[in-house]
Amino acid sequence: MLWGDMALAMQNLLNLIEIRVYSENDKNVWDSFIDSAKNRHFFFKRDYMEYHSDRFQDSSLMIYASGKLAAVLPGNLNGETFYSHQGLTYGGILCGERMTTSLMVAIFEKLVDFLRSLGVRRMVYKDIPYIYYTRPAEEAAYALYLHKARLSRRELSSVIDMNSGLSYTKGKKYNISKARKYGLEIVESSDYEGFIGLLTEVLSDRHGATPVHTAEELKLLAGRFPNNIRLFTCLKDEEILAGVLVFENEFVAHTQYLANSDEGKSIGALDFTLDYLIKNIFNTKKHFSFGISTEDQGYTLNSGLVDSKEGFGARAILHDIYEMEL
């Protein structure tokens, strides 16, 4: 195709695209679109995104092509910066199975102009990892490249490919075998207060940190998404020694939080719990995700943490964040 023809084709696509800011009247349409997106995640549903609406100025976008919803962009404004999304682990454009590369490139052209009209001067874009795709969905990554978006942060996450066969290290096998001697009980639980209490203690003592969510927030979200947010605790004489909070999607089980008491650590309670979840609860998933093991914007690798995850046979995938000047 000649350059003139290419420019005309792009202009024709641009003429078909309309972008507008999400409003509360769009909730059902938004949620329905998330259900059919090829890079979907339940936390893009409005009932999840809006639990912390007091902390973020939501400026999510609805993107139409030829009058039909073609994509959505979860986002919030903070000064002159558009984030997708500060309140979510991932963000980026969610699109349907019919999205084409040419249309996505045109969408980004229109998106840049639209954001500029809102006074935005910079976009921070958290790309959603490929393990959540139902089919290839990297059209937006290419459009970011065309706009000279800069890779500003790269986190390393550890994921088990459940179809490749499990391969535990000797240390993991030993811990799991040891834990079996203590009569531990693993239960699916709603004791978010007890779990967050343990998690808060662990994070404070070992990392000087606090959980992102409170027990009240987790109870609220679990009530809204009972099939997606699930808590499992490991008990000894009814005391919580370890716990795992799982965010469950169609193909991925992700450990949002892991907690292990001092006693639990000494007898292998967390490894015992994870082994049970991997082999018995989420064994039909494509991927079991442990989350990131990096700190300091991705520049520091927590070797002990990543070694522990890789001890279950997990291997690295990347979580990339881009910045783009508008």
Dist CA 303 CA 62 (whole Å): 41
CA distance 279 to 273: 10
CA–CA gap between residue 289 and residue 50 (Å, rounded): 25
Q: Domain of 31: which CATH number?
A: 3.40.630
CA distance between the termini of the chain: 29
326 falls within a domain: no
23-36 per-position pLDDT tens digit = 999 999 999 999 99
Residue 167 φ then ψ, to 5°: -140, 95
- Report pTM: 0.93
Per the domain annotation, does 153 fall within a domain?
no
Pair (60, 80) in one structural domain? yes
Could you say which of 110, 129, 148 is where a domain stops? Answer: 148
> Does any domain span residue 276?
yes
Q: Using the structure block, give the residue that is written with the tokens 């454009």.
A: 93
**Same domain, residue pair 250 and 303:** yes
Tell whether 183 and 309 lie within a shared domain. yes
3-state secondary structure of 212: coil
Among 101, 41, 118, which Cα is nearest to 72's? 41
Whether residue 223 is contained in a domain is answered as yes
* CA dist., res. 93 & res. 65, Å (int): 14
Domain interval for residue 214: 159-318
Structure-token match 């089919």, residue found: 135
Q: What is the pLDDT of residue 2?
A: 45
**Domain end position, chosen among 148, 181, 210:** 148
pLDDT for position 222: 96
Ranges of residues in the chain with a pLDDT under 50 are 1-3
88, 126 Cβ separation under 8 angstroms: yes
The span from the CA of 231 to the CA of 272, in Å, is 15
User: Do residues 314 and 171 both lie within one domain?
Assistant: yes
What pLDDT score was predicted for residue 10? 67
Task: Give the pLDDT confidence score for residue 13 in this predicted structure.
Answer: 77
Model pLDDT, residue 3 = 47
What SS3 class is residue 249? coil
The tokens describing 260, both together, are 């292990």
| Domain final residue pick, 121, 148, 175 | 148
CA distance 198 to 206: 12
User: Average pLDDT, whole number, for the chain?
Assistant: 94
The number of distinct structural domains making up the chain is 2
Statement to judge: residues 15 and 72 lie in one domain: yes
Q: In this structure, are strands 239-248 and 252-260 parallel, antiparallel, or unpaired?
A: antiparallel
CATH at residue 217: 3.40.630.30
CA distance 101 to 92: 15
**In angstroms, rounded to a whole number, what is the distance separating the alpha carbons of residues 114 and 108?**
10
